[in-house]
Amino acid sequence: MTKQVWRLTIYGEWEYHKQIQALNRLSEKGLQLWRGGMFCSGFTRDDQVRYVYQMDYRPEIENEYRYMELFAEMGWEYLNRTRDGWHFFRKCYQENMLPEEKEIYTDQESVMELHGRLRKRYQKNSMVLLFWPIYIAVLLSSGGPGPALQPLELLFWVLFVLGAVPLSIYFLLLLVGEWRYRSGKRPWPLPSKKIWILHLCLLYACWIVNLMRLR
């Protein structure tokens, strides 16, 4: 009887390599992914098997049957598709597997095509982030610190600095990264999505404290 487990698997588009490595490590330990996601994934507990996992980002597939066939022919089992367009695959692990056998992209050009598709995705996502500078400006316009620094005020400013400032920096990193990429330079690495979410939570807490201090 295999046990079903759900785990948080928080990864941004730019970290899919880390996600694949994590899935492979989990498989070695007996947790087998059966339904992948960019936020949470379903696993089954099974020590008897071991898999090699892969992910492909393809939101639009011209011919789905042909796509599935090319993977199935090479031994990849299709798991699922996320709403965004990530596809999860796995194949049985063998001791003397070559590194190329664990990959689905085997030349530089096709990897660049994949990255191009990913960039379009997080250009769309980064438009959502435009919301944050506007929100921060609104927060600030509701008044600066009063003459006597009350605990709620202090809490507001602490949360604001811990939440809004890093998020603004990450947003700038995204923009600068885009510009560097277009001028042929390597973009600076982005922090992991878990860190983005941590700062977002701090900003939400800041918003709640703001509502309380304005009451």
Partner 1 sequence: MQEKNEPLTESYYYILLCLYQKPCHGYGIMQETLRLSDGQVRIGSGTMYGATENMMKKGWIQETISIRPEDRRKRLYELTERGRGVLELEIRRLEGLLKSARMVIGDGVAEQNAGG
Residues 24-63: x where in contact with partner 1 by CB under 8 A, - otherwise, as a string = --------------------------------x-----xx
- Which of residues 47, 73, 134, 211 is near partner 1 by CB under 8 A? 73
Q: In this complex, which beta carbon is closest to partner 1, that of residue 47 or of residue 60? A: 60
Judged by CB under 8 A, which of 2, 4, 21, 110 binds partner 1? 110
- SS3 (DSSP) at 147: coil
Distance CA 142, CA 84 (A): 37
Verify binding: residue 66, partner 1, rule CB under 8 A: yes
State in angstroms the smallest separation of the CB of 36 from partner 1.
16
Burial class from Cβ neighbours inside 10 Å (0-12, 13-18, 19+) for residue 192 reads middle
Question: Coil, helix or strand for 1?
Answer: coil
Give dist(CA 86, CA 186) in Å, integer. Answer: 24
Is 109 an interacting residue with respect to partner 1 (CB under 8 A)?
yes
Structure tokens, 153: 């005020």
State the nearest-atom distance from the C-beta of 143 to partner 1, in Å.
54
100 Cβ partners below 8 Å, 6+ apart? 106
Minimum distance of partner 1 from residue 52's CB (angstroms) = 12
Of positions 28, 77, 84, 103, contacts partner 1 by CB under 8 A:
103
> Judged by CB under 8 A, which of 49, 74, 130, 176 binds partner 1?
74
**Greatest alpha-carbon span in the chain:** 71
End-to-end C-alpha distance for the chain, whole angstroms: 55
Residue ranges binding partner 1 (CB under 8 A): 56, 62-63, 65-67, 69-71, 73-74, 76, 98, 100-101, 103-107, 109-110, 113-114
